[in-house]
């Protein structure tokens, strides 16, 4: 467990916020801040920059979940949402909003540590998957650009596909650049001249 994490607790009842913060401290997390008004969530997240946002709500609605998603930037940090009541649509909306842990039946102090650890682990897995997906998308876009550049060279120089790629690679090495950068420059120049 990483005890250096910054945790923002969103709880409107002061006594309950104190109990949550005490439970977090007892679990080893000491950099904890409480926020009473969810309306100030966006500003507080920007100022405090928490690693985890723990939100305790009695009855969330779709608008609140959307606000939480935008305000907490769920792609940058884990969000654990504790609710008293839910339905299938709200659960689905919470997960779609990027909430890392969605716990129904309220926040019990003895569950804070395992739920936050699970939220952190799930967040890391989701971030890794997103990173891999982004890398795969970028590789596909790069491949398309290189193929397009090879096509331009094949037409202009009357060479084979292999020779066009060798020309791109040689130009990249001569200029100490990546093949994709040379290909992008060639495609851009061709677009300007057409």
Nearest Cα to Cα of residue 77 among 6, 164, 152, 155: 6
Q: What is the mean pLDDT of residues 22-49?
A: 90
- Candidates 3.40.440.10, 3.30.70.20, 3.40.50.300, 3.40.50.2300; correct CATH number of 6-107? 3.40.50.2300
Winning range, highest mean pLDDT, from 10-19, 81-90, 113-122, 180-189: 180-189
Nearest Cα to Cα of residue 100 among 89, 116, 112, 86: 116
What pLDDT band is residue 161 in, cutting at 50, 70 and 90?
Answer: very high
Q: What is the dotted CATH code of the domain comprising 133-193?
A: 1.10.10.10
Q: Where are the domains of the chain?
A: 6-107, 133-193
Q: What is the pLDDT of residues 96-115, one digit of tens each?
A: 888 888 888 767 778 888 88
């Amino acid at each position: 467990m990483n005890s250096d994490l910054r945790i923002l607790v969103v709880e409107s009842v002061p006594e309950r916020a104190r109990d949550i913060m005490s439970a977090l401290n007892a679990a080893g997390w000491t950099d904890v801040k409480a926020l009473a008004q969810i309306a100030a969530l966006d500003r507080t997240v920007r100022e405090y920059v928490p690693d985890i946002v723990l939100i305790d709500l009695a009855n969330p609605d779709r608008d609140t979940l959307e606000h939480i998603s935008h305000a907490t930037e769920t792609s940058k940090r884990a969000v654990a949402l504790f609710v008293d009541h839910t339905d299938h649509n709200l659960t689905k909306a919470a997960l779609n909003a990027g909430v890392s842990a969605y716990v129904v039946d309220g926040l019990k102090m003895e569950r804070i540590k395992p739920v936050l650890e699970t939220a952190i682990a799930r967040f890391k897995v989701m971030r890794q998957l997103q990173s891999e997906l982004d890398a795969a998308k970028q590789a596909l876009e790069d491949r398309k650009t290189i193929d397009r550049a090879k096509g331009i060279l094949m037409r202009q120089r009357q060479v084979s596909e292999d020779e066009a790629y060798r020309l791109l690679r040689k130009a990249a090495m001569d200029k100490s650049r990546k093949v994709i950068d040379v290909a992008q420059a060639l495609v851009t120049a061709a677009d300007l001249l057409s």
